[in-house]
Amino acid sequence: MNHNDALLKEADRCVKCGICLPHCPTYKLTQDEGDSPRGRISLIQGIASGALDSQRAHRHLDRCLGCLACQSACPSGVDYSRLIDGYRATRSQTRRQRIIHSLITRLPYQGWSRIGLWLYTHTGLRQLLRPLIGKKMRRLDDLLPNRARLGSWRPRYPTSSPKQGRVGLFTGCAGRISDRPALDAAIAVLTRLGYEVVVPENQGCCGAMHQHGGDPTSAERMSNVNQRAFDNQGLDAIIYLASGCGAQLTRHPFAAPLYEISQFLNRCHWPTECQLNAMDCTVGLHSPCTLKYPLELTNEPEQLLRRIPDLRLVCLDQIDCCGAAGSYLLEQPAMSDALGSRAIRQVALQQLQFLATSNSGCALQLAREVRQSPQTIRTVHPVELINQSLNNHP
Ligand code: SF4
Ligand code: SF4
């Protein structure tokens, strides 16, 4: 069966009932059938059968976040992920998409470009160049922390406690910079609990952006790189922090089982000397789409944070996709901004000290929105709160 026939066969399972429509963030925003899952499936049917090839149809499909809220709501079991990824794989990537993917996933983490990035974020270069780089590049620049920590991790971190096991830590690509405080917190918590932490130097991007951006061949190559990096390390588990990366990593088998960090911390043994100390604060807990739908791990961060005495948790279940969605925030800026603002408007910010989320893209998007509010709210990964609680001495 050729690629288009396979797409048509899957699309035929859609009975056009419309049950998915109220779950779709883009449809809720525009109320346009073309921006709904049912509409997009019809467009894919038209394109795959050769009956349709219009810019307008492609625009509606490009505006899909790939959040999969529709797939989880569908009573007919339509594999929407297969449809949208399959459709995107039939389109050649634009030059702009290739540049964005390279800038996010490869360039800043290697050799000279890393030094260039350090100079850019630690000297006056950023202030000098920012007004000159254009609106689109400024969005990319917005994602960089003020003084990006770019140093490498050591290949292994021994534990000073009685050893419980040896785990590998997946750092990702952009997460090496944006998730740095969370990754450092994860190393601190895991070693404290008795795990030796291995951070393979030769690991790379998970490939999610390529998989969902129409380049499954590159995604496959990246997956092979990660398998080679982790599979001969004698690990008991491989741990990831960003749910967007986790959803991609779980598509391929590794020699050791994969765990999201909260999932791992909820299951491992906590020695009696590792007490979580009280934190008198209110935390809004955001659940990224990748954690909710493909991974189905929504309850894990909540369960973990409820262990911290005195911490008041507000689960922000009412928030739809925040509009980050991998490179979507750069490729569809208007929709992404509208989704981000709508998401944050649904949160009573005035009561929060922290906004916790388990995905780096969502953290960047929500942090940008939160910065525009008068409240001082820190956007964190749940593991940063766990580390802070472990170190809070009464
Ligand atoms: S995708 Fe599923 S829920 Fe949506 S219209 Fe088709 S059959 Fe109905
Ligand atoms: S993946 Fe998300 S944005 Fe795309 S059609 Fe489904 S619900 Fe809508």
At 1 the pLDDT is 75
Residue closest by Cα to atom 6 of ligand 2: 70
The answer to whether 236 and 167 have CB atoms below 8 angstroms apart is yes
At 393 the pLDDT is 65
The answer to whether 370 and 349 have CB atoms below 8 angstroms apart is yes
Cα of 311 to ligand 2 centre, how many Å? 34
Q: Is the CB of 74 under 6 A from ligand 1?
A: yes
The answer to whether 137 and 99 have CB atoms below 8 angstroms apart is no
Residue 122: closest CA among 152, 147, 144: 147
Per-residue pLDDT, averaged over 77-81, amounts to: 97
**Three-class secondary structure of residue 123 per DSSP:** coil
- pLDDT above 90 covers a percentage of the chain that reads 68
Q: Tokens 């991790």, residue?
A: 153
At 186, the amino acid letter reads A
The secondary structure element, H or E, covering residue 383 is helix 382-391
The secondary structure element, H or E, covering residue 290 is helix 289-292
Q: Is the CB of 20 under 6 A from ligand 1?
A: yes
Q: Is the CB of 83 under 6 A from ligand 1?
A: no
DSSP state of 321: -
At 296 the pLDDT is 95
Per-residue pLDDT, averaged over 161-170, amounts to: 95
Q: Is the CB of 393 under 6 A from ligand 1?
A: no
Q: Which residues line ligand 2 (CB under 6 A)?
A: 23-26, 37, 40, 64-70, 80
Mean pLDDT estimate for the chain: 91
In angstroms, the CA 350 to CA 302 distance is 21
Q: Is the CB of 77 under 6 A from ligand 1?
A: no
Which atom of ligand 2 lies nearest, measured to the CA of 37? 5
Q: Is the CB of 78 under 6 A from ligand 1?
A: yes
Cα of 16 to ligand 1 centre, how many Å? 5
Per-residue pLDDT, averaged over 16-39, amounts to: 97
pLDDT of residue 130 exceeding 90, the answer is no
DSSP state of 152: P
205: left (phi over 0), alpha (psi -120 to 50) or beta: beta
At 43 the pLDDT is 97
Cα of 163 to ligand 2 centre, how many Å? 44
At 355, the amino acid letter reads L
Q: How many CB atoms lie within 10 A of CB 270?
A: 15
At 323 the pLDDT is 93
Q: What digits encode the pLDDT tens for the residues 206-254?
A: 999 989 988 899 899 999 999 999 999 999 999 999 999 999 999 999 9
In angstroms, the CA 260 to CA 265 distance is 9
Q: What digits encode the pLDDT tens for the residues 275-325?
A: 999 999 999 999 999 999 999 999 999 999 999 999 999 999 888 999 999
Cα of 3 to ligand 1 centre, how many Å? 21
Under the banding of pLDDT at 50, 70 and 90, the label for residue 374 is confident
Of 26-30, 342-346, 382-386, the least confident: 342-346
**Three-class secondary structure of residue 198 per DSSP:** strand
pLDDT of residue 154 exceeding 90, the answer is yes
102: left (phi over 0), alpha (psi -120 to 50) or beta: alpha
In angstroms, the CA 229 to CA 100 distance is 25
Q: What digits encode the pLDDT tens for the residues 245-270?
A: 999 999 999 999 999 999 999 999 99
Higher pLDDT, 53 or 103: 53
Residue closest by Cα to atom 2 of ligand 1: 74
At 156 the pLDDT is 96
At 330 the pLDDT is 85
Per-residue pLDDT, averaged over 12-27, amounts to: 98
The answer to whether 244 and 236 have CB atoms below 8 angstroms apart is no
In angstroms, the CA 262 to CA 241 distance is 8
At 96 the pLDDT is 66
Residues linked to residue 240 through DSSP beta bridges, in sequence order: 260
At 322 the pLDDT is 94
DSSP state of 284: E
pLDDT of residue 274 exceeding 60, the answer is yes
Q: Tokens 């996933």, residue?
A: 105
At 128 the pLDDT is 86
At 33 the pLDDT is 98
In angstroms, the CA 116 to CA 123 distance is 11
The answer to whether 172 and 363 have CB atoms below 8 angstroms apart is no
In angstroms, the CA 333 to CA 135 distance is 10
pLDDT of residue 357 exceeding 70, the answer is yes
Q: What domains sit in the chain, N to C, each tagged with a CATH number?
A: 3-89 (1.10.1060.10), 95-142 (no CATH), 156-267 (3.40.50.1860), 282-391 (3.40.50)
At 392 the pLDDT is 81
Under the banding of pLDDT at 50, 70 and 90, the label for residue 10 is very high
Residue closest by Cα to atom 7 of ligand 2: 24
Ligand found nearest the CA of 73: 1
At 219 the pLDDT is 93
At 146 the pLDDT is 73
pLDDT of residue 141 exceeding 90, the answer is no
At 105 the pLDDT is 67
Q: Is the CB of 377 under 6 A from ligand 1?
A: no
Per-residue pLDDT, averaged over 7-20, amounts to: 97
pLDDT of residue 117 exceeding 60, the answer is yes
Q: Is the CB of 39 under 6 A from ligand 1?
A: no
Q: What digits encode the pLDDT tens for the residues 187-208?
A: 999 999 999 999 999 999 999 9
Q: What ranges make up the beta strands (E) of the chain?
A: 156-157, 165-169, 195-198, 237-240, 258-260, 282-285, 312-315, 354-356, 378-380
